[in-house]
Amino acid sequence: MGGLCTTKCSRYEYSPLRGDEIRFVRLQPGSFDDVIRFELVHHPLRTPEEQLEAGLSEQQQRKRIPRGWREFKTPEGRSFYECYSTRSEPESVTYNHPEGIEEDSTPHESAHSQPYEALSYTWGDTSYQQLAFVLNGDEDPKTVSIRRNLATALRHLRLKYEVRSLWVDAVCINQDDLDERAVQVKRIRYIYGLASRVVVWLGESSHGSSGALKTLEYLGRQTEITTDAWIFRAFDPPASEPSWIEKATELPYTAADWQAIEYLFERSWFSRLWVLQEVTANPNTTIQCGQDSIDWYFLRRAIIGLDERVGVPAELSYRLNGKVDIAFGSSGAFAIVHFVARQHLCQDPRDKLYGILGLVGPKLQDKIVPSYERTFEDLYKDVFLLHSEMTGRLDLLTQCFVNEELPSSPSWVPDWRAFPYAFRVPEPGYQASGASRAEFRELPGSRLEVIGILHDKVVFAPDSSEVDAKSLLEYIRALQPPGLHNESYVTGEPLLNAWFLTLALDLLRERFPKRFFPHYAHWEKTVLEILGKDSENKSLTKMANLTNTIRDTLTDMGYFRTAQGYIGFGPYAVEPDDHVCVVLGVPTPMVIRPSGNNTYQVIGWAYVHGLMDSEAL
């Protein structure tokens, strides 16, 4: 094998990939400070064909589950079972099938003929690059430029005496070949899913990262989770801290512990878009920071353990927002996946869609053909129309907001590049248009014609731009409708009851029984204390203990009243004379603004009490 060149090395020239080939980095052994040397080899990536499993199929096993038992799936695909009748007993939850059927619980092994590990990392700063040497038999080495973060990762991952096979996107894809990029981008989930292991590189050890990983691993060992968002106390082995499953239990962490955890989640990997599908594609995933590592299995459970927990610092809680769905292994519904995705970063705005293809349903995935030669504006519009046609719904309208950066873009096309501070999407479960099918068509001039009911007009919308955490108490009191304690709402119910539900966007346990929202009685008591004559300190404490979701209602949305007396929270930009409408195929009312010639601008979705369950139809 060739040594290092004695004269100036020439730049490595990629040879085209053929058919289903991908490239591997065969990282050569060496000490930490040695120059980085590797081979780039081509090898076919063939997805495994479906095979008939010996024994009972999963569907047959489900039929064999005896009465009183229920099956759950972990995000890693492992089944466990709960017995209803003995739920209070330690033996009521088990990984063993109640009928004694043996299930495949062997660790994930790559089905690929050429074992490799896939690296998940951030590209990092472009200002510092160094040369790596590409070896090719007895020929002189060629060079490729790699960024600092990748160079550091390869030095930490390099073995001293053995070759290590890796897939690394920056090197294994010819980034200058747009056609190759487009083809490989659609295969990312397969590339990571078929790897023998995914290695997540967070960076070098610093700011207490070693202790933070140990703390999070211990927290992650206390619970078991399911793909449908159930949380169980760990049972095999049993939880060492059984009370930690309760969100009201404060964790015994010092200020230094919390700071180290915050520093860890501030690392750029946690805000990168591509990692969403990379880390969920393969159950055998390791998180590495310097020389320390833990399994993703424990980190994802730790993230869920911190979510909505009393005592978690506000900044950390904000950073974890959007990570919970990924930790549970959520995928499928495009609107939900993309709400999470738009909170993460990527360099190319087209990757806001291409970077999540592995997480959406297969039918939509097959219809989206990556191309880096089209504009992101056209891509976003085409995907909006494609999704709407395939689903018969216009749910994606709820992801629109007033965007001053794209004044010429249609207001009905979401700008998926951005995640404005004052923006949120509705929880699944509202039924303003029932189960109706959307009726729409695109008209010349990038207009969208829809069918719906123009229901009401906004007459009152106070300026909420100055609202911050310190003024929330004053703001919530100022929004009280006249006659709050003695008048009826337009639906006939007491106005006070409607006001309570509106403040919460009806995000209460009665409507969403699987979510960690408060029950109505608790919420009513809390609001009454806030609006009553309690001391300021007590009221502020109550405000501080409200869930993130309800606090966000007051800071991320704009309150309004309509001509008919409806009250609600809508987009931050809502103004008097805006219209409230219910569009077929949209789960919530929409706020729209007249723009002349019987056309309207989409302002955003709204919670309007009394219109959330098909009342307008």
Q: If 0-12 CB within 10 Å is exposed, 13-18 middle and 19+ buried, where does residue 549 land?
A: buried
- Residues 353-374 have pLDDT tens digits of 999 998 888 889 999 999 999 9
Q: Distance between CA atoms of 390 and 585, rounded to whole angstroms? A: 12
Q: Is 341 helix (H, G, I), strand (E, B) or coil?
A: helix
Q: What share of the chain is helix, strand, coil (3-state, %, to 5)?
A: 30, 20, 50
Q: Is 503 helix (H, G, I), strand (E, B) or coil?
A: helix
Which range among 86-90, 142-146, 519-523 shows the weakest confidence by mean pLDDT? Answer: 86-90
Element (H, E) at 301: helix 296-306
> Which is it for the CA torsion 50, 52, 56, 57, positive or negative?
positive
Q: pLDDT at position 80, please?
A: 94
Distances (CA, A) of 172 to 25, 220, 489: 7, 34, 62
Q: pLDDT at position 296, please?
A: 97
Which of the 8 DSSP states describes residue 10?
P
Is 133 a residue whose pLDDT tops 60? Answer: yes
Which range among 43-47, 74-78, 349-353, 363-367 shows the weakest confidence by mean pLDDT? Answer: 43-47
CA 70 to chain centre: 27
> CB count, 10 Å around CB of 16?
10
Share of the chain above pLDDT 90, in %: 63
Q: Distance between CA atoms of 439 and 394, rounded to whole angstroms? A: 9
Is 86 a residue whose pLDDT tops 80? Answer: no
545, amino acid identity: N
Q: pLDDT at position 4, please?
A: 61
**Mean per-residue pLDDT, 415-432:** 82
User: Which residue matches tokens 């459970």?
Assistant: 301
pTM metric for this prediction: 0.84
Phi-psi sector, 280: left (phi>0), alpha (psi -120 to 50), beta: alpha
Distances (CA, A) of 558 to 130, 523, 554: 50, 21, 7
- Transcribe 198-231 into DSSP letters: EEEEEES--TTHHHHHHHHHHHHTTEEE-TTS-E
- Residues 93-109 have pLDDT tens digits of 999 988 887 765 554 55
Q: Distance between CA atoms of 581 and 520, rounded to whole angstroms? A: 28
Q: CB-hemisphere CA count at 13 Å for 239?
A: 20
**Mean per-residue pLDDT, 514-525:** 82
Is 143 a residue whose pLDDT tops 60? Answer: yes
Q: Distance between CA atoms of 264 and 208, rounded to whole angstroms? A: 8
Average per-residue pLDDT for the chain: 87
Q: Distance between CA atoms of 500 and 479, rounded to whole angstroms? A: 12
Which range among 76-90, 267-281, 423-437 shows the weakest confidence by mean pLDDT? Answer: 76-90
> Which is it for the CA torsion 488, 494, 500, 504, positive or negative?
negative
Share of the chain above pLDDT 70, in %: 86
pLDDT band with cut points at 50, 70 and 90 for residue 7: low
Q: pLDDT at position 466, please?
A: 55
**Mean per-residue pLDDT, 437-462:** 96
Between β-strands 197-203 and 285-289, what pairing exists: parallel, antiparallel or unpaired?
parallel
Using CA atoms in the order 438, 444, 445, 448, what is the torsion angle rounded to 10 degrees?
A: -10
Q: If 0-12 CB within 10 Å is exposed, 13-18 middle and 19+ buried, where does residue 267 land?
A: middle
**Mean per-residue pLDDT, 66-84:** 90
**Mean per-residue pLDDT, 158-185:** 96
Kindly report the backbone phi and psi dihedral angles of residue 569, in degrees, each rounded to the nearest multiple of 5, phi listed first.
-120, 135
Which of 251, 261, 382, 270 is closest to 308 using CA atoms? 251
Kindly report the backbone phi and psi dihedral angles of residue 335, in degrees, each rounded to the nearest multiple of 5, phi listed first.
-60, -40
pLDDT band with cut points at 50, 70 and 90 for residue 221: very high
Q: Distance between CA atoms of 165 and 24, rounded to whole angstroms? A: 6
Is 450 a residue whose pLDDT tops 70? Answer: yes
- Residues 307-360 have pLDDT tens digits of 989 899 988 988 887 788 778 876 667 877 887 888 888 999 999 999 999 888
Q: pLDDT at position 469, please?
A: 47
Which range among 288-297, 320-329, 475-484 shows the weakest confidence by mean pLDDT? Answer: 320-329
Q: Distance between CA atoms of 314 and 552, rounded to whole angstroms? A: 12
Element (H, E) at 496: helix 495-503
**Mean per-residue pLDDT, 530-554:** 54
Q: Distance between CA atoms of 401 and 225, rounded to whole angstroms? A: 34
